Structure 1
Amino acid sequence: MSTPPLTGDLSPAEFRTAAHAAIEWIAEYLESSGQYPVRSRVRPGDIREALPPSPPVRGEPLEAMLRDFISTIVPGITHWNHPAFFAYFANSGAYPGILGELLAAGLNANGMLWITSPAVTELEQVTLDWLRQLMGLGDGWFGEITDTASVSTFYALAAARERTGLDVRSKGMAARSDLPRLRVYCSEHAHSSIDKAVIALGLGHDNLVKIATDTQFRLRADALEAALAADVAAGYRPMAVVPCVGTTGMTSIDPVPEVVRTARRFGCWVHVDAAYAGVAAIVPELRYVLDGVDGADSLVVNPHKWLFTPMDCSVLYTRDPQSLKQAFALLPEYLVTATTSETVNLMDYGIQLGRRFRSLKLWMVLRAYGRDGLAERIRHQCELAREFAGMVHFEGGWELMAPVTLSLVCFRRVPPGADEAAIAGLNARIMERVNARGAVYLSHTKLGEQYTLRLAIGNIRTDRQHIALAWRELRAAAAEIEGGA
């Protein structure tokens, strides 16, 4: 039997049939995602073992792939789109963002240069300016979309290093007797992406200085000033300070205005990590979370965390795009065009050459809900967090571990007379039992040395019945464990 000649892609009819089926599945999934166990129940290796060890010799129909997706892949998914997903920073992919992602995939545009797809560059600039206005920031910010806050922070600190004037771009950092030891400063509760950026930029992890916090887990400006002064006296060169607006562990908000004033006296770049909490400023009464940020040099916010935009979509803003461009811009001959000197070419502002059309999904989310709709949803989720905190506060044997500033609640079970080791063990068992049941999903952190449970609200479909469910599951698990079950 002869093999028919290759004729290019699949037929449009086959694609239409499969695409309609996929859209129907997604719509039904999002409508009924609460029926799934939140955390995947597969064991390590289950998915791999269920898949053929070798690729197919002949092409297979899309219909078969969709069947296998449902039967084999979906059981291996922990459902971040589940309304009772409360771990880490809960997020969600809302309908308009999903539609934007689909259209971007269909276009398959590469926005490395303006000319390679003018709409990719210009829609990104317009959309990020809309977001800036929604958050109440002043003029003068340049924005670009990256994949995650880890990359946004890396870029910001690369720009900070470039602005030192030490010509690291050309001469590097190795074997340079003229190069002082550069230092970066952040809260002891700052995200690990700052550690990774310092390591990747060749500054050395020892040169990331963690600053002590106050009783509400906020960076102490006096401790920062003391550390900066001591390092200057010891011959170090302070390079950057990274205050947080919404730390990962407990969403504490560092005193950005004081940090900016202190950092300026020592010539430091200020990068504000507002990956989770920055978009809360869309709510008029929460706009204070970005107080002082207009005095900083850069800022990261993640629409894929709390702005209902599908992964991945992080936004880096800077008031000094020239330093950012100076750190990364490179123009080989094969990328020279008649417009390269006259337009913004997004490839100049990071290590990526190829850039996909991420702004389309964010643009569609902002348009679909508008300022008032976004504010209403964020406000509601903060109210849900306060309601859950009230449940914890008024129940004997449980305690809140940090102020509830936004939509995260930190808490734990505390039996009478138990020591810290026993409390930590009990709460770890409670969390594991709750998560194993599959109705809700939580994560934990440590505040100081105290093991702490976290309930983070961020899914667009989460409502009161879901936090009530989480509380029932927690209380039931605690009762079973303490009762010996």
Structure 2
Amino acid sequence: VVATLGTTSSTSVDPIAEIAGVCGGEGIWLHVDAAYAGAAATLPEMRHHFDGWERADSIVFNPHKWMFTPFDASLLLFRDSDAFRDAFSLVPEYIKTGVSDEARNFNEYGIQLGRRFRALKMWVQIRWFGVEGIRARLREHCAWAREFAGWIDAAPDWERMAPVPFSTVCYRYRGSELEEEAAIEARNAAILNHVNATGRFYLSHTKLGGRYTLRLALGNLRQTREHVRDVWETLQSAADETA
């Protein structure tokens, strides 16, 4: 069973503790996909989102998504390393050596035999920022996302499409002149293209419940609150100019 903690589209969180209880009772392997939101586990105030993930059999977290690490960097944690190795190990005769049993061969922990040295950039990030430095930047991103969501909620022609547990906001333009869903989608697609064409920001979209939705994802070290405010003002201008 794969449970998601901060899904890519809307950053929603599955009920990990409940799922872990079912998996534990049935003897089913539980994998937690925290590729995006795993960084938030460093924040004490966010720990409630992670309740139960300590009972998972494996967890994945990608520091390149929201912990300022250059692409690509993925951390895979697993409870039973032997089970994981047994699932993936394939050692042909030509790579066997006399010391194969004396060291941990990471080529036996995935479908690829070779891999790059990705650990150094992760080590540098942690050494440079420290735990508190990482936390401070994550908190900024979350605070700006909540503020942006507040602007959306206060604007009569805009609507928020999902909760904001982390640093991504899902929203759309929903002017009173728009009634049909097809018209709403076309207008929001036009707004998205208009904003991205400025070259100042790059927004993305998804579909939630079949409805076209714009996304603001905050996670860059160089972002500031002024950037977030500029995005909001540009979105409002784009809504007027695409009418």
**TM-score per shorter chain, which class?**
over 0.9
Write the deviation string for residues 230-288 of structure 1: whole angstroms up to 9, x where unpaired.
Answer: xxxxxxxxxxx111100111111111000011122333211101000011011121122
Alpha-carbon distance in structure 1 between the residues aligned to 2:97 and 2:123: 28
**Residue number among 211, 221, 235 corresponding to 1:460 in the alignment:** 221
User: Are positions 1:447 and 2:208 aligned together?
Assistant: yes
Alpha-carbon distance in structure 2 between the residues aligned to 1:249 and 1:325: 31
Q: After TM superposition, list the pairs within 5 Å mapping 1:411-422 onto structure 2.
A: 411-417=171-177, 418-422=179-183
> Which consecutive residues of structure 1, in runs of 5 or more, have no partner in the other structure?
1-240
Deviation of residue 289 (structure 1)? Answer: 2.3
Equivalent position of 1:299 in the other structure: 59
> Which consecutive residues of structure 2, in runs of 5 or more, have no partner in the other structure?
none
Deviation of residue 320 (structure 1)? Answer: 1.7
* Structure 2 counterpart SS, 1:410: strand
Residues 281 and 288 of structure 1 are in contact (CA less than 8 Å); yes or no, is this contact kept in structure 2? no
Equivalent position of 2:141 in the other structure: 381
Alpha-carbon distance in structure 2 between the residues aligned to 1:356 and 1:480: 48
* Paired letter, 2:43: V
**Residue number among 417, 430, 437 corresponding to 2:191 in the alignment:** 430
* Structure 2 counterpart SS, 1:454: strand
**Residue number among 120, 123, 142 corresponding to 1:360 in the alignment:** 120
Alpha-carbon distance in structure 1 between the residues aligned to 2:224 and 2:209: 31
Given the superposition, is the C-alpha separation of residues 361 and 449 from structure 1 closer, same or farther in structure 2, using an over 3 Å criterion?
A: same
Q: After TM superposition, list the pairs within 5 Å mapping 1:83-232 onto structure 2.
A: none
**Residue number among 130, 134, 142 corresponding to 1:370 in the alignment:** 130
User: Are positions 1:288 and 2:48 aligned together?
Assistant: yes
Q: TM-score scaled to structure 2, two decimals?
A: 0.96
* Structure 2 counterpart SS, 1:243: strand
Alpha-carbon distance in structure 1 between the residues aligned to 2:15 and 2:162: 17
Alpha-carbon distance in structure 1 between the residues aligned to 2:84 and 2:70: 26
Specify the structure having the higher radius of gyration (Cα): 1
* Structure 2 counterpart SS, 1:269: coil
Alpha-carbon distance in structure 2 between the residues aligned to 1:422 and 1:247: 27
* Structure 2 counterpart SS, 1:453: strand
Residues 446 and 452 of structure 1 are in contact (CA less than 8 Å); yes or no, is this contact kept in structure 2? yes
Q: After TM superposition, list the pairs within 5 Å mapping 1:40-59 onto structure 2.
A: none
Residues 283 and 376 of structure 1 are in contact (CA less than 8 Å); yes or no, is this contact kept in structure 2? no
Alpha-carbon distance in structure 2 between the residues aligned to 1:450 and 1:352: 38
Alpha-carbon distance in structure 2 between the residues aligned to 1:332 and 1:429: 54
Q: Provide the aligned C-alpha RMSD in A.
A: 1.2
Q: After TM superposition, list the pairs within 5 Å mapping 1:336-347 onto structure 2.
A: 336-347=96-107
**Percent of counterpart pairs with the same letter?**
51
Alpha-carbon distance in structure 2 between the residues aligned to 1:311 and 1:370: 20
* Structure 2 counterpart SS, 1:424: helix
Write the deviation string for residues 147-192 of structure 1: whole angstroms up to 9, x where unpaired.
Answer: xxxxxxxxxxxxxxxxxxxxxxxxxxxxxxxxxxxxxxxxxxxxxx
* Paired letter, 1:442: L
User: Are positions 1:268 and 2:28 aligned together?
Assistant: yes
Equivalent position of 1:180 in the other structure: none
Write the deviation string for residues 436-484 of structure 1: whole angstroms up to 9, x where unpaired.
Answer: 12111111111102111000001011111111111111111100111xx
Deviation of residue 422 (structure 1)? Answer: 1.2
Equivalent position of 1:132 in the other structure: none
Higher RCO (C-alpha under 8 Å, 6+ residues apart): 1
Residues 401 and 410 of structure 1 are in contact (CA less than 8 Å); yes or no, is this contact kept in structure 2? yes
